[in-house]
Structure 1
Amino acid sequence: MLTPRKAAMIAIFILTALYLLHSTNNSSLTSPQQPAESPRAQIKDLVKEASTPRTTGQPESLNQDLSRPYPPPRQIATKKTGTQQPLADPASKSLREQLQYQFPYDPEGKFPAYIWQTWKYTPASGEFADSFRAAEASWTEKHPGFVHEVVTDEAAVYLLRHLYASVPEVVEAYKALPVPVMKADFFRYLILLARGGIYTDIDTTAIQSATEWLPKEVPRSSVGLVIGIEADPDRPDWKEWFSRRIQFCQWTIQAKPGHPVLRDLVATVTQETLRLKKKGPLSEKSLGKNIIEFTGPGVWTDAVFSYLNNPEYFKMEGKNVTWETFTGMETSKKVGDVVVLPITSFSPGVQQMNAKEPDDPMAFVKHEFEGTWKPESERIHPERNQ
């Protein structure tokens, strides 16, 4: 017999069931399940979210040959960068001031775990030369956990447009440089200024990890730039072979982003390039100086010495820092926040200027002196520099 109490309980049960059924249907209508995204699509989304230049710099349409599409290590903002104030009237500021604002230098920060190289093709391309594969792979093998990217010439333009969007004259200067090797020179300064890490030529082999480049007793927080000696000639006719008595190599450089040496050099090359461009289309002859002096190791060496002797950065006590400070070195030397490595570190096995062999404890990088992106007349060989 259906009592009033049982009838009420049945009615409550039916109403509850109808309410739950209605809610489920509405949920399925408003929140349909999406099909699982393919790994390739996830990679594209990741690259797009990171604005692409943080790894290879390739836009989505050029992203078919991404060799290592994983995100770079995220940099933790420091007080110096986190309290950055808006730049009042950027147009009234000098190029150096604009670069300093966009890429502030934190000497106590960490060296970013990037390895940058540039070449016509990525290692994923069938056009990538077999002669470079072992050398390129050595950097990944010696630096697990680093973001290692080979940036193509085409991708470099997109990368620099992104990084220097607020300083368009830098991109204009890069595009105006008339010789590919000059673009390659300028690119290394630009990528290190903006992102930091290691730049190294495609024909270099990593002998030891960058974690071993600095002596254990030197705090990483006190170093912002690591460079090596390319030439230390003691012969009287050295000017016929090299551009400087002590010449710093720029085929391998490690830097923290925003370093003043890079900032000043980028400003110098940009201003000089645009000054000449106003006179007409640029060519190698119209530059008024050779590549070594315009973007290569000559101007790079000058920029380093200029920084080391700048009273704005250092308290000048005694005589200036000159080539004599670094000649005959067999171990590293720290001047300010710059560590200079002996010729053996980045030029082992050249069999001159007291360079030791690649098995020496101070040998870190081997350079094959291929220079294959250059015309034959411009290629660098161990026995001469021009």
Structure 2
Amino acid sequence: MNWRAGKRPDSPPGSVRPAAESSKLRILPRRVKRFLPVYIVSAFVLLVFLNADLLSLVPPSIALDRQEVLPRKGLPGSTFPQKIWQIWRVDPLAFEQTEFETANTWLEQNPSMRYEVITDRSDVAFVEQHYGPGGFNRPDIVEFYHNVTIPIVKADLLRYMVLYAEGGIYADIDVEALKPFHRFIPDSHDEREYDVVVGIEVDEPRFRDHPILGQKSQSFCQWTIVSRPQHSVMMRLIENIMKWLKRIASQQKVPVSDVDLNFDEVITGTGPSAFTTALLEEMNKNERAPKVTWDMFHNMAESKVVNRVLVLTVEAFCAGQGHSDSGNHEARSALVKHHYHASNWPNRHPRYSHPVYGPVEVCNWDEDCVRQWDQDVADYEKLPDEEKKAWEEGRS
């Protein structure tokens, strides 16, 4: 039986192979034809292997179902959760220009990292998901958070809860990123040797005995914090805040939701002073080791690791303050810039202001200014009531 050129007897009807192609296949050695698929697969695997570096540059954010996005291999900081957290009243789609510009710097500096803003509408869902029965099963924490009504207390508490639950980088909404995250990690330390990264904010121990400034004179910064998840210092902060606010409520004979706080109470209860106290307690967990005090961080010229906490110099997170030898934002070691435009909470929780001489904080830690303020206040207290009243009326 004769077959037409290019048509095989075992081909299905309508399947025609060009004659030229058929003839080319017939001239290949039988052994080559047998191993041809193996050659093709091997070539494909070789191409993938040779281009592995290019494939690693594909933005990891497209993997939406991944729990954690890893940075490009080899960058410092890769062992920490690759996520940036911020807390604000509204989500990014409703940001005003000022918030958008500062928040966007974190994405520009860290394009491969995940980013999330916890808002006034999503905070409860986050707390219930992570601390409810399906999470850490801490109904006491969930109930406490529901009862807190003071915005700054909730904001401080929530940042610690976020970092405990998932870890990563937390930054206030008015903090600008000057450098990418991998620059936060100094070459002088192995990042596997620490679990929390903090910076110094106030380093003015000469005022530690001052009746007003003393409790604020030496503190770590909490407008930018880096942490691994489930770090004990974050849970220590959460539980310390719960005990503290319940104690204040008991003293004021009101429920937690109706507590009234002044500036210093916020600072020492949930803010930088509370943060510093918890960190020092964490550093001193090992009772056999030498006690860690602020003296270890005073005038610190370079970063150091103390009991698995990396402490950066004051210039890292708090440059340009005009005190504590904080330098300026143009310095190589300056990592963030705090713009303070969202820091209006002191208007709701006023600091102590003398009726004639105002708040001592206007001195901004200048020793001569503080000394003069102290002297003026002491002299004022010696005046008869009539003269005090005249001074107060003259000031107003």
> Does the alignment reach a TM-score above 0.5?
yes
Change (3 A) 1:363 1:242: farther
Cα pair 1:180 1:373 within 8 Å, conserved: no
Give 3-state SS (helix, strand or coil) of 2:85's partner.
Answer: strand
For residue 309 of structure 1, report the CA deviation from its aligned partner.
0.8
Match of 1:226 in 2: 197
Match of 2:64 in 1: 71
Match of 1:336 in 2: 307
Cα pair 1:372 1:379 within 8 Å, conserved: no
TM-score normalised per structure 1? 0.66
Whole-Å separation in 1 of the counterparts to 2:261 and 2:300? 38
For residue 239 of structure 1, report the CA deviation from its aligned partner.
5.2
For residue 260 of structure 1, report the CA deviation from its aligned partner.
1.2
Match of 1:183 in 2: 154
The structure 1 residue matched to 2:255, chosen from 260, 276, 281, is 281
Whole-Å separation in 2 of the counterparts to 1:287 and 1:376? 10
Whole-Å separation in 2 of the counterparts to 1:69 and 1:181? 35
Match of 2:117 in 1: 150
Match of 2:232 in 1: 260
Matched, 1:351 2:318: no
Match of 1:248 in 2: 220
Match of 2:128 in 1: 161
Change (3 A) 1:332 1:222: same
Whole-Å separation in 2 of the counterparts to 1:216 and 1:73? 29
Q: What does 1:1-386 align with in structure 2 at a 5 Å threshold?
A: 71=64, 73-75=66-68, 110-125=79-94, 128-165=95-132, 166-236=137-207, 240-241=212-213, 243-274=215-246, 280-282=254-256, 283-285=258-260, 290-311=265-286, 316-318=288-290, 320-372=291-343, 374=345, 376=347, 378=349, 384=364
Amino acid paired to 2:269 = F
For residue 178 of structure 1, report the CA deviation from its aligned partner.
3.1
Cα pair 2:168 2:227 within 8 Å, conserved: yes
Whole-Å separation in 2 of the counterparts to 1:350 and 1:287? 23
Change (3 A) 1:72 1:114: farther
Change (3 A) 1:383 1:130: farther
> Gapped runs of 5+ residues in structure 2?
1-60, 70-76, 352-360, 366-396
Cα pair 2:198 2:225 within 8 Å, conserved: yes
Change (3 A) 1:326 1:201: same
Amino acid paired to 2:86 = Q
Give 3-state SS (helix, strand or coil) of 1:243's partner.
Answer: helix
> Gapped runs of 5+ residues in structure 1?
1-67, 77-107
Q: Percent identity?
A: 30
Bigger Rg, which one: 2
What is the aligned-residue RMSD (CA, Å)?
3.1
TM-score normalised per structure 2? 0.64
Give 3-state SS (helix, strand or coil) of 2:84's partner.
Answer: strand
Whole-Å separation in 2 of the counterparts to 1:349 and 1:287? 26
207-216 vs 108-117, which deviates more?
A: 108-117
The list of structure 1 runs, each at least 4 consecutive aligned residues, that deviate by more than 6 angstroms after superposition, is 286-289, 379-383
The size of the alignment, in residue pairs, is 282
Cα pair 2:156 2:271 within 8 Å, conserved: yes
Change (3 A) 1:351 1:246: same
Give 3-state SS (helix, strand or coil) of 2:92's partner.
Answer: coil
Give 3-state SS (helix, strand or coil) of 2:201's partner.
Answer: strand
Amino acid paired to 1:167 = R
Give 3-state SS (helix, strand or coil) of 2:116's partner.
Answer: strand
Match of 2:16 in 1: none
